[in-house]
Protein backbone atom coordinates (compact mmCIF):
# COMPACT_ATOMS: atom_id res chain seq x y z
CA UNK A 1 0.00 0.00 0.00
CA UNK A 2 1.28 3.44 -0.79
CA UNK A 3 -0.58 6.47 0.42
CA UNK A 4 0.77 9.64 -1.20
CA UNK A 5 -1.47 11.88 0.88
CA UNK A 6 -0.32 10.36 4.17
CA UNK A 7 3.31 10.46 3.08
CA UNK A 8 2.96 14.10 2.05
CA UNK A 9 1.34 15.10 5.34
CA UNK A 10 3.94 13.19 7.35
CA UNK A 11 6.82 14.65 5.36
CA UNK A 12 5.52 18.14 6.01
CA UNK A 13 4.84 17.56 9.71
CA UNK A 14 8.23 16.03 10.49
CA UNK A 15 10.32 17.98 7.96
CA UNK A 16 12.15 20.03 10.58
CA UNK A 17 13.17 16.84 12.40
CA UNK A 18 14.55 14.71 9.58
CA UNK A 19 17.84 16.28 8.63
CA UNK A 20 19.70 17.19 11.79
CA UNK A 21 21.57 13.98 12.50
CA UNK A 22 24.76 12.43 11.21
CA UNK A 23 23.12 9.01 11.42
CA UNK A 24 19.60 9.31 10.08
CA UNK A 25 17.14 6.45 10.54
CA UNK A 26 15.57 5.05 7.38
CA UNK A 27 11.79 4.98 7.63
CA UNK A 28 9.56 2.84 5.41
CA UNK A 29 5.85 3.66 5.46
CA UNK A 30 3.33 1.05 4.31
CA UNK A 31 5.70 -0.75 1.95
CA UNK A 32 4.67 -4.26 2.93
CA UNK A 33 6.30 -6.78 5.21
CA UNK A 34 10.10 -7.13 5.29
CA UNK A 35 11.77 -10.53 4.81
CA UNK A 36 10.80 -12.80 7.71
CA UNK A 37 14.42 -13.59 8.45
CA UNK A 38 15.18 -9.99 9.45
CA UNK A 39 15.53 -9.84 13.25
CA UNK A 40 13.30 -7.25 14.92
CA UNK A 41 14.87 -5.10 17.66
CA UNK A 42 11.56 -3.67 18.82
CA UNK A 43 7.95 -4.10 17.76
CA UNK A 44 4.62 -2.55 18.68
CA UNK A 45 1.06 -2.69 17.39
CA UNK A 46 -1.40 0.17 17.70
CA UNK A 47 -4.94 -0.09 16.32
CA UNK A 48 -3.87 -2.42 13.52
CA UNK A 49 -0.81 -0.38 12.60
CA UNK A 50 2.50 -2.13 13.20
CA UNK A 51 5.86 -0.64 14.07
CA UNK A 52 8.98 -2.74 13.61
CA UNK A 53 12.47 -1.47 14.33
CA UNK A 54 15.49 -3.11 12.72
CA UNK A 55 19.16 -2.28 12.87
CA UNK A 56 18.85 -0.83 9.37
CA UNK A 57 15.79 1.34 10.02
CA UNK A 58 12.15 1.27 11.02
CA UNK A 59 9.02 0.15 9.19
CA UNK A 60 5.44 1.18 9.69
CA UNK A 61 2.78 -1.05 8.15
CA UNK A 62 -0.98 -0.78 8.11
CA UNK A 63 -0.86 2.89 9.04
CA UNK A 64 -4.17 4.41 8.01
CA UNK A 65 -3.83 7.97 9.22
CA UNK A 66 -1.55 10.63 10.62
CA UNK A 67 -2.74 9.97 14.16
CA UNK A 68 -1.59 6.34 14.09
CA UNK A 69 1.78 7.28 12.57
CA UNK A 70 2.26 9.98 15.19
CA UNK A 71 1.48 7.53 18.01
CA UNK A 72 3.88 4.91 16.66
CA UNK A 73 6.63 7.48 16.20
CA UNK A 74 6.28 8.50 19.85
CA UNK A 75 6.51 4.86 20.87
CA UNK A 76 9.58 4.30 18.72
CA UNK A 77 11.25 7.44 20.08
CA UNK A 78 10.54 6.53 23.71
CA UNK A 79 12.25 3.18 23.12
CA UNK A 80 15.16 4.59 21.12
CA UNK A 81 15.92 7.24 23.76
CA UNK A 82 16.76 4.56 26.34
CA UNK A 83 20.16 4.12 24.71
CA UNK A 84 20.70 7.89 24.67
CA UNK A 85 20.01 8.76 28.34
CA UNK A 86 16.71 10.34 27.38
CA UNK A 87 12.95 10.16 27.73
CA UNK A 88 9.73 11.78 26.52
CA UNK A 89 7.64 13.71 29.04
CA UNK A 90 4.11 15.09 28.90
CA UNK A 91 5.28 18.66 29.34
CA UNK A 92 5.42 22.07 27.73
CA UNK A 93 8.91 23.50 27.28
CA UNK A 94 9.57 27.23 27.08
CA UNK A 95 12.96 28.83 26.45
CA UNK A 96 13.82 31.88 28.54
CA UNK A 97 17.26 33.49 28.73
CA UNK A 98 18.72 30.49 26.88
CA UNK A 99 17.40 27.92 29.34
CA UNK A 100 14.58 25.40 29.07
CA UNK A 101 11.74 25.60 31.59
CA UNK A 102 9.76 22.39 31.62
CA UNK A 103 6.15 22.48 32.77
CA UNK A 104 4.60 19.11 33.42
CA UNK A 105 1.30 17.83 34.71
CA UNK A 106 -1.70 15.81 33.74
CA UNK A 107 -4.14 16.90 31.04
CA UNK A 108 -5.79 20.13 32.12
CA UNK A 109 -2.96 21.08 34.49
CA UNK A 110 -2.07 24.07 32.33
CA UNK A 111 0.61 23.04 29.82
CA UNK A 112 -1.15 24.70 26.92
CA UNK A 113 -1.98 27.72 29.10
CA UNK A 114 1.71 28.17 29.88
CA UNK A 115 2.58 27.85 26.18
CA UNK A 116 -0.08 30.38 25.25
CA UNK A 117 1.16 32.86 27.87
CA UNK A 118 4.77 32.64 26.66
CA UNK A 119 6.37 34.93 24.06
CA UNK A 120 6.07 33.89 20.45
CA UNK A 121 8.95 31.71 19.33
CA UNK A 122 9.94 30.70 22.87
CA UNK A 123 7.81 27.55 23.03
CA UNK A 124 9.61 24.33 22.05
CA UNK A 125 6.49 22.22 22.56
CA UNK A 126 3.21 22.43 24.44
CA UNK A 127 2.67 18.70 24.79
CA UNK A 128 5.62 16.29 24.53
CA UNK A 129 9.08 17.33 25.68
CA UNK A 130 12.24 15.36 25.04
CA UNK A 131 14.86 15.40 27.79
CA UNK A 132 18.31 14.01 27.26
CA UNK A 133 21.59 13.97 29.19
CA UNK A 134 24.52 14.97 27.02
CA UNK A 135 28.08 15.46 28.29
CA UNK A 136 26.81 15.60 31.86
CA UNK A 137 24.17 18.23 31.07
CA UNK A 138 20.42 17.71 30.74
CA UNK A 139 18.99 19.38 27.66
CA UNK A 140 15.39 19.72 26.51
CA UNK A 141 14.44 19.34 22.85
CA UNK A 142 11.36 20.26 20.92
CA UNK A 143 9.41 17.45 19.29
CA UNK A 144 7.01 17.33 16.36
CA UNK A 145 4.32 16.07 18.73
CA UNK A 146 2.17 19.08 19.52
CA UNK A 147 -1.04 19.44 21.45
CA UNK A 148 -3.70 22.12 21.21
CA UNK A 149 -1.17 24.88 20.59
CA UNK A 150 -0.80 23.68 16.99
CA UNK A 151 2.33 25.65 16.14
CA UNK A 152 5.11 24.23 14.02
CA UNK A 153 7.51 22.02 15.94
CA UNK A 154 10.86 23.50 16.82
CA UNK A 155 13.90 21.31 16.32
CA UNK A 156 16.13 23.07 18.81
CA UNK A 157 17.33 22.52 22.36
CA UNK A 158 18.53 24.27 25.50
CA UNK A 159 19.99 23.27 28.88
CA UNK A 160 17.28 22.55 31.43
CA UNK A 161 16.64 25.23 34.08
CA UNK A 162 14.13 23.13 35.98
CA UNK A 163 11.06 20.92 35.92
CA UNK A 164 7.90 22.56 37.23
CA UNK A 165 4.84 20.58 38.30
CA UNK A 166 1.83 22.71 37.43
CA UNK A 167 -0.80 23.37 40.06
CA UNK A 168 -3.41 26.02 39.35
CA UNK A 169 -3.86 28.30 42.35
CA UNK A 170 -4.97 31.83 43.27
CA UNK A 171 -1.37 32.93 43.79
CA UNK A 172 2.01 32.25 42.17
CA UNK A 173 4.45 30.23 44.25
CA UNK A 174 7.32 27.81 43.71
CA UNK A 175 8.30 25.13 46.22
CA UNK A 176 11.49 23.09 45.64
CA UNK A 177 11.04 19.32 45.51
CA UNK A 178 13.31 16.60 46.83
CA UNK A 179 14.59 14.09 44.26
CA UNK A 180 12.04 11.47 45.35
CA UNK A 181 9.22 13.97 44.82
CA UNK A 182 10.67 14.86 41.41
CA UNK A 183 10.73 11.18 40.45
CA UNK A 184 7.14 10.87 41.68
CA UNK A 185 6.25 13.83 39.44
CA UNK A 186 8.04 12.41 36.42
CA UNK A 187 6.79 8.83 36.48
CA UNK A 188 3.08 9.35 35.70
CA UNK A 189 3.96 11.86 32.98
CA UNK A 190 6.61 9.87 31.12
CA UNK A 191 5.68 8.28 27.81
CA UNK A 192 6.65 4.65 27.86
CA UNK A 193 5.18 1.61 26.24
CA UNK A 194 7.45 -1.33 26.85
CA UNK A 195 6.36 -4.06 29.27
CA UNK A 196 9.82 -5.54 29.00
CA UNK A 197 11.76 -5.68 32.26
CA UNK A 198 15.18 -4.56 31.04
CA UNK A 199 13.73 -1.52 29.24
CA UNK A 200 11.77 -0.57 32.36
CA UNK A 201 14.91 -0.87 34.50
CA UNK A 202 16.82 1.30 32.07
CA UNK A 203 14.07 3.92 32.07
CA UNK A 204 13.90 4.00 35.86
CA UNK A 205 17.67 4.44 35.99
CA UNK A 206 17.49 7.40 33.59
CA UNK A 207 14.58 9.00 35.47
CA UNK A 208 16.31 8.56 38.84
CA UNK A 209 19.37 10.28 37.45
CA UNK A 210 17.22 13.12 36.13
CA UNK A 211 15.47 13.44 39.52
CA UNK A 212 18.82 13.70 41.26
CA UNK A 213 20.40 16.13 38.80
CA UNK A 214 17.59 18.43 37.66
CA UNK A 215 16.02 21.01 39.96
CA UNK A 216 12.31 20.34 40.41
CA UNK A 217 9.53 22.46 41.86
CA UNK A 218 5.83 22.57 42.52
CA UNK A 219 4.58 25.64 40.67
CA UNK A 220 1.29 27.07 41.87
CA UNK A 221 0.26 29.56 39.24
CA UNK A 222 -2.49 31.92 38.30
CA UNK A 223 -3.64 31.65 34.74
CA UNK A 224 -1.64 34.66 33.61
CA UNK A 225 1.95 35.44 32.66
CA UNK A 226 2.93 36.74 36.11
CA UNK A 227 4.07 33.26 37.16
CA UNK A 228 7.42 33.97 35.47
CA UNK A 229 8.17 36.43 38.29
CA UNK A 230 8.46 33.66 40.88
CA UNK A 231 10.51 31.22 38.79
CA UNK A 232 14.19 30.78 39.69
CA UNK A 233 16.55 32.41 37.17
CA UNK B 1 -2.88 -15.91 58.60
CA UNK B 2 0.78 -14.88 58.58
CA UNK B 3 3.63 -16.73 56.90
CA UNK B 4 5.96 -18.55 59.36
CA UNK B 5 8.90 -16.44 60.57
CA UNK B 6 11.30 -19.14 59.37
CA UNK B 7 10.21 -18.79 55.73
CA UNK B 8 12.79 -17.10 53.49
CA UNK B 9 11.83 -14.32 51.06
CA UNK B 10 13.05 -13.05 47.73
CA UNK B 11 12.26 -10.04 45.58
CA UNK B 12 9.94 -10.68 42.67
CA UNK B 13 12.51 -11.01 39.88
CA UNK B 14 10.22 -9.36 37.31
CA UNK B 15 10.41 -5.90 38.93
CA UNK B 16 12.48 -2.77 38.31
CA UNK B 17 13.41 -0.57 41.27
CA UNK B 18 15.55 2.37 42.40
CA UNK B 19 16.32 3.92 45.76
CA UNK B 20 16.26 7.70 46.27
CA UNK B 21 16.34 9.64 49.56
CA UNK B 22 16.11 6.38 51.59
CA UNK B 23 12.86 5.55 49.83
CA UNK B 24 12.36 2.96 47.11
CA UNK B 25 10.33 3.14 43.93
CA UNK B 26 9.37 -0.18 42.40
CA UNK B 27 7.77 -0.58 38.99
CA UNK B 28 6.01 -3.66 37.76
CA UNK B 29 6.72 -3.68 33.99
CA UNK B 30 3.73 -5.87 33.13
CA UNK B 31 1.08 -3.45 34.38
CA UNK B 32 3.19 -0.25 34.76
CA UNK B 33 2.09 0.03 38.38
CA UNK B 34 4.34 2.07 40.66
CA UNK B 35 4.93 1.12 44.29
CA UNK B 36 6.74 3.13 46.93
CA UNK B 37 8.44 1.91 50.07
CA UNK B 38 9.20 4.15 53.03
CA UNK B 39 12.42 4.14 55.03
CA UNK B 40 11.68 0.90 56.90
CA UNK B 41 10.26 -0.82 53.84
CA UNK B 42 13.35 0.20 51.87
CA UNK B 43 15.62 -1.19 54.58
CA UNK B 44 13.85 -4.53 54.39
CA UNK B 45 13.79 -4.45 50.60
CA UNK B 46 17.57 -3.98 50.47
CA UNK B 47 18.05 -6.95 52.74
CA UNK B 48 15.60 -9.33 51.08
CA UNK B 49 18.00 -11.55 49.19
CA UNK B 50 16.37 -14.95 48.84
CA UNK B 51 18.36 -16.24 51.83
CA UNK B 52 17.05 -14.43 54.89
CA UNK B 53 13.94 -15.42 56.80
CA UNK B 54 11.46 -12.99 58.32
CA UNK B 55 13.10 -13.67 61.71
CA UNK B 56 16.55 -12.80 60.34
CA UNK B 57 15.25 -9.67 58.64
CA UNK B 58 13.59 -8.66 61.92
CA UNK B 59 16.93 -9.05 63.74
CA UNK B 60 18.53 -6.61 61.30
CA UNK B 61 15.63 -4.22 61.71
CA UNK B 62 15.93 -4.33 65.51
CA UNK B 63 19.68 -3.62 65.30
CA UNK B 64 19.25 -0.63 62.99
CA UNK B 65 16.04 0.99 64.21
CA UNK B 66 16.28 0.58 67.99
CA UNK B 67 13.06 -1.36 68.40
CA UNK B 68 12.50 -4.42 70.55
CA UNK B 69 12.81 -7.86 68.88
CA UNK B 70 9.08 -8.47 69.31
CA UNK B 71 8.10 -5.20 67.64
CA UNK B 72 10.69 -5.74 64.90
CA UNK B 73 9.32 -9.20 64.11
CA UNK B 74 5.69 -8.10 63.99
CA UNK B 75 6.60 -5.04 61.86
CA UNK B 76 8.70 -7.19 59.53
CA UNK B 77 5.98 -9.79 59.10
CA UNK B 78 3.36 -7.11 58.48
CA UNK B 79 5.55 -5.44 55.85
CA UNK B 80 6.36 -8.74 54.15
CA UNK B 81 2.67 -9.65 54.02
CA UNK B 82 1.90 -6.24 52.53
CA UNK B 83 4.68 -6.56 49.94
CA UNK B 84 3.59 -10.10 49.20
CA UNK B 85 -0.01 -9.01 48.60
CA UNK B 86 1.33 -6.48 46.08
CA UNK B 87 3.46 -9.25 44.49
CA UNK B 88 6.70 -7.43 45.29
CA UNK B 89 8.16 -10.35 47.20
CA UNK B 90 7.63 -14.10 47.14
CA UNK B 91 8.61 -16.88 49.52
CA UNK B 92 11.46 -19.17 48.53
CA UNK B 93 10.25 -22.76 48.23
CA UNK B 94 12.01 -25.05 50.69
CA UNK B 95 14.56 -27.33 49.00
CA UNK B 96 13.05 -30.69 48.20
CA UNK B 97 9.68 -29.61 49.49
CA UNK B 98 6.63 -27.73 48.38
CA UNK B 99 5.91 -24.18 49.46
CA UNK B 100 2.62 -24.06 51.42
> Contacts of residue B30 in chain A, CB cutoff 8 Å?
195
Q: Could you give the angle at the alpha carbon of B15 between the alpha carbons of B67 and A197, nearest 5°?
A: 160
Residue finishing a domain among A26, A59, A84? A84
- Give the model's confidence band at A24: pLDDT under 50 very low, under 70 low, under 90 confident, else very high: confident
In this structure, are A107 and A220 located in the same domain? yes
pLDDT tens, position by position, B81-98: 999 999 999 999 876 544
In this structure, are A127 and A222 located in the same domain? yes
Q: pTM for the whole thing? A: 0.86
In this structure, are A170 and A135 located in the same domain? yes
Percent of chain B with pLDDT over 70: 92
Q: If you write DSSP's letter for every residue of A20-44 in order, what string do you get? A: S-SSPPPEEES--PPPTTSPPSEEE
In this structure, are A202 and A116 located in the same domain? yes
Residue A150 near residue A127 (C-beta atoms within 8 A): no
User: Kind and range of the H or E element at A167?
Assistant: strand A157-168
In this structure, are A209 and A159 located in the same domain? yes
In this structure, are A131 and A29 located in the same domain? no
The complex's ipTM works out to 0.78
Which residue range forms the structural domain that includes residue A63? 4-84
Report the C-alpha gap between B26 and A144 in whole angstroms.
Answer: 31
How confident is the model at residue A90, as a pLDDT? 94
Report the C-alpha gap between A18 and B72 in whole angstroms.
Answer: 59
In this structure, are A99 and A15 located in the same domain? no
Residue finishing a domain among A84, A100, A116? A84
Q: Tally the domains of chain A.
A: 2
How confident is the model at residue A53, as a pLDDT? 86
> Contacts of residue A183 in chain B, CB cutoff 8 Å?
18, 20, 25
Report the C-alpha gap between B91 and B80 in whole angstroms.
Answer: 10
Residue A61 near residue A33 (C-beta atoms within 8 A): yes
Domain spans of chain B? 9-87
pLDDT tens, position by position, A122-141: 898 888 999 999 999 999 99
How confident is the model at residue A149, as a pLDDT? 58
Residue A29 near residue A69 (C-beta atoms within 8 A): yes
Return residues 24-43 of B near A (CB < 8 Å).
25, 27, 29-30, 32, 34, 36
Report the C-alpha gap between A198 and A7 in whole angstroms.
Answer: 34
For the residues B73-79, what does the mean pLDDT come to?
95
Tell me which of A22-31, A48-57, A100-109 is least confident: A22-31
**Looking at domain B9-87, does it have CATH number 3.40.50.1820?**
no
In this structure, are A8 and A32 located in the same domain? yes
Give me Rg for the CA atoms of chain A. 18
In this structure, are A186 and A93 located in the same domain? yes
Please state, in angstroms and as integers, the Cα–Cα distance from residue A69 to each residue in A21, A57, A124, A147, following that order. Answer: 21, 15, 21, 15
In this structure, are A90 and A37 located in the same domain? no
Asked if A180 lies within 8 A of B34 by C-beta distance, the reply is: no
In this structure, are A14 and A35 located in the same domain? yes
pLDDT tens, position by position, B12-52: 999 999 999 889 999 988 887 889 999 999 999 999 999 99
Q: Could you give the angle at the alpha carbon of A227 between the alpha carbons of A223 and A229, nearest 5°?
A: 155
Q: What is the mean pLDDT of chain A?
A: 86
For residue A94, the Cα-to-chain-centroid distance in whole angstroms is 13
The dihedrals phi and psi of A66, each to the nearest 5 degrees, come to: -60, -35
> Contacts of residue B34 in chain A, CB cutoff 8 Å?
187-188
In this structure, are A11 and A36 located in the same domain? yes
Amino acid sequence: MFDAQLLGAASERYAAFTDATAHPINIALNHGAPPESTPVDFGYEFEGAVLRAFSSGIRFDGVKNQYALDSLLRIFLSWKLLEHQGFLLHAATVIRNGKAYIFTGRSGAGKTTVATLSPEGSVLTDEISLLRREGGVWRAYGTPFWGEFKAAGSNSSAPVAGIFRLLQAPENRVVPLRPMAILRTLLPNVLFFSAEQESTRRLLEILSRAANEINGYNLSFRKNATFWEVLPA
Amino acid sequence: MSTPASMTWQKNPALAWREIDDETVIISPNDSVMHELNDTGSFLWKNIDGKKSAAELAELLAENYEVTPDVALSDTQALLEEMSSRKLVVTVPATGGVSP
